[in-house]
Amino acid sequence: MKRVWPLFLLIVFLGVFAFSLSIFNERKLFAGKITKIFSNLIVSKKETPLISFANEEDLTFTSTPSAALTPTPSKIPTPVDPYANDPDLKDVAWGEAVQISETGYKMKIAYDDRMATPQETFQALNVYRETKKRSILLLDDRLAKYAMERATYICQNGSDSHAGFSDYVENQEGYKTLGFYKLGENMSTHMRFTATHLIEWMYAADPAHDGNQLGDWSHVGVGIYEDCSALIFGNWMI
C-alpha cells in the first residue's frame, strides 16, 4: 500500500501538470489571435489616407500667395495693317472710302466672319432707307435673277466697273428684259460683310453708292455669290 501511494501521487502530479500546460497553451493561442486582429486594425488605420489633413495642406498651399504664381501680363502685339502695301489705302483712315476710278472705290476695313444672304441684305437695305426717310423697295424676281448673274460674274472674273451692266441695259434690251425704264447697280467684289455692314458701312461710305441705294427707286434685286454682291435697282416699270 505504501508503495502504491507515491505512484498515485506521481500520476496525479503529472495529470495536473498536463492540464495546466494545456490551459497555458490555449491562453497563449488566444492571446496571439487577439494581437493579430489588433495589429490588423492598426495597419488599416495607417494605410487609410488622412484625407482631412491632406486637404488642409492643399488649401494652405493654394491660398498662400507666391511670387512664382503671380501671372505676368503678356505684351500686347502691335496690330499689322493689312493694307500697308496698298498704295491706295496705306495712308487712309479705317472705314474711309477712297475713289480710285470714275465708279470704283476702295475701303480700309475689317471683314465679317460670314457673308450676308440676299434676303438679309434686302431687309437691311429697307431698314436703312427707312432711317433716311426714303420709301420701302419691293423685291423683283427679274432684278434678283440678273443681280445674281452679276454677282457671280464679278466674283469669278473681277470687277468690270459696271461695263457688263451698261452693255446689258443699253445694247441687249436690258430695260425690256428686266421690265423697267430706269435701272441702277451697286456691286462689291470680295468684301465679306453681314447685311447691315454691307449696306450701312460699305455702300454708305461714299456718296455715289450711298446715293444710289437711297435713290428714287421702287424695286430692287439682290444677288450674293460667295463674298461678292450686286444690287440692281429699278423704277418706272414697263
For residues 17 and 114, membership in a common domain is answered with no
| pTM score, whole prediction | 0.64
Angle between helices 118-131 and 141-157 (to 10 degrees): 110
CA 155 to chain centre: 27
Residue 87 lies in a domain: no
Residues 196 and 118 in one domain: yes
What pLDDT, in 10s, does the model give residues 170-193? Answer: 999 999 999 999 999 999 999 999
Within-domain flag for 23: yes
Residues spanned by the domain of 142: 97-237
In a domain, 21, yes or no: yes
Of residues 152, 161, 169, the one with CA closest to residue 233: 169
Whether residue 79 lies inside any domain: the answer is no
Lowest mean pLDDT among 7-16, 44-53, 221-230: 44-53
Count structural domains, the chain: 2
Quick: pLDDT tens for 45-74.
333 333 333 333 333 333 344 444 455 555
- For the chain, the average pLDDT equals 76
Compute CA distances 93 → 110, 235, 236, whole Å. 12, 36, 39
Rounded CA gap, 91 and 81, in Å? 11
Domain annotation covers residue 122: yes
Q: What is the CATH number of the domain that holds 168?
A: 3.40.33.10
